[in-house]
Amino acid sequence: MSRQMIVGNWKMNGTRQAAQALVASLVDRLPQGSADVVICPPFTQLAPVADKLAASPIGLGAQDCHQAVSGAYTGDVSAAMLADLGVGHVILGHSERRQGHAELDETVREKAVAAIRAGLVPVICIGETAEQRDAGQHEDVLGWQIEGSLPEGFGGVVAYEPIWAIGSGRAATEEQIAQTMAFLRAELIRQFGETGKAVKILYGGSVNAGNAPSILSIPEVAGALVGGASLDADAFLSIVGAASAS
């Protein structure tokens, strides 16, 4: 198994005091030689967290960026601004952005291009709804999302998050995850050729300390996009400990 990546998405959580305490715990307790770790605080905490991570192997990520370099876009943050703060990764196309902000594949693609130009690694999220899964349309949906969201020659990271298994009481089985991951790899290779073989595919469906070991052992799972568990140092470090660092 290749070196895995664990990305912590704090979402809209984290005051200065809470963020500082969490980062300090992660930095102090991160196992030596662990898998690649990236944490993605809200915009307001990026600068202070960057300072705390300066001498740490933990990478800094953001949760979104705008597709323009600068301009009259009130409330938005550009990829160049993120890079200026020391951000190295950016989550794009998360289901909460696609659903809550009506982001289209085209928008995600434009943001990915902007991120790459600024020197950031985009972590592009894709995933199907319960209706699409139950109708047997999930592979078509995922294929369309890859085609529409990933720019030509994409060399970033893909995160598969089954929307139907997040906070719904329905859990994706290991068999379902394995089948979907195998499809995603084949689809990436079909659309991007040799480049598609190297794209990391993370799993992002309610990963926690209990299910991480089994999920991370599934073929083609190159790591995890962690939501709620990333706000708890013990839980997040347990997930990191379950990941392969080889």
Domains of the chain: 5-26+35-242 (3.20.20.70)
How many angstroms separate the Cα of 212 from the Cα of each of 39, 207, 217, 221, 224?
Answer: 17, 6, 8, 11, 8
Half-sphere exposure of residue 57: CA atoms within 13 angstroms, side-chain side:
14
- What average pLDDT score do residues 102-119 get? 98
Condensed to tens digits (0 to 9), the pLDDT of residues 134-175 reads 999 999 999 999 999 999 999 999 999 999 887 666 778 999
pLDDT at 165 (0 to 100): 84
Residue 115 belongs to what H/E stretch? helix 105-117
90, 124 in Cβ contact below 8 A? no
- According to the annotation, is 227 in a ligand binding site? yes
| pLDDT over 70 percentage in the chain | 98
Q: Does 208 belong to an annotated binding site?
A: no
Mean pLDDT of the chain: 95
Which residue out of 96, 103, 128, 161 is catalytically annotated?
Answer: 161
246: pLDDT strictly greater than 70: no
Q: What is the pLDDT of residue 111?
A: 98
pLDDT of residue 205: 87
167 is in an annotated binding site: yes
CA distance 12 to 58: 20
Q: How confident is the model at residue 2 (pLDDT cuts 50, 70, 90)?
A: confident
Task: Say what the pLDDT of residue 73 is.
Answer: 98
Looking at residue 169, its pLDDT comes to 63
pLDDT tens figures, 3-50: 999 999 999 999 999 999 999 999 999 998 899 999 999 999 999 999
Distance (Å, rounded) from C-alpha 45 to C-alpha 131? 36
* Helix residue spans in 39-104 (DSSP H): 46-52, 79-84, 95-100
Asked about 89 being catalytic, the answer comes back as no
- Please check if 9 is assigned to a binding site: yes
Q: What is the largest CA-CA distance in the chain?
A: 49
Residue 136 annotated as binding site: no
Closest CA to 242 of 227, 112, 221, 228: 221
64-78: average pLDDT: 98
Catalytic, out of 66, 89, 94, 138: 94
For the stretch 93-102, what's the b/e string if a residue is b when 16 or more beta carbons lie within 10 angstroms of its beta carbon? bbbbbbeeee
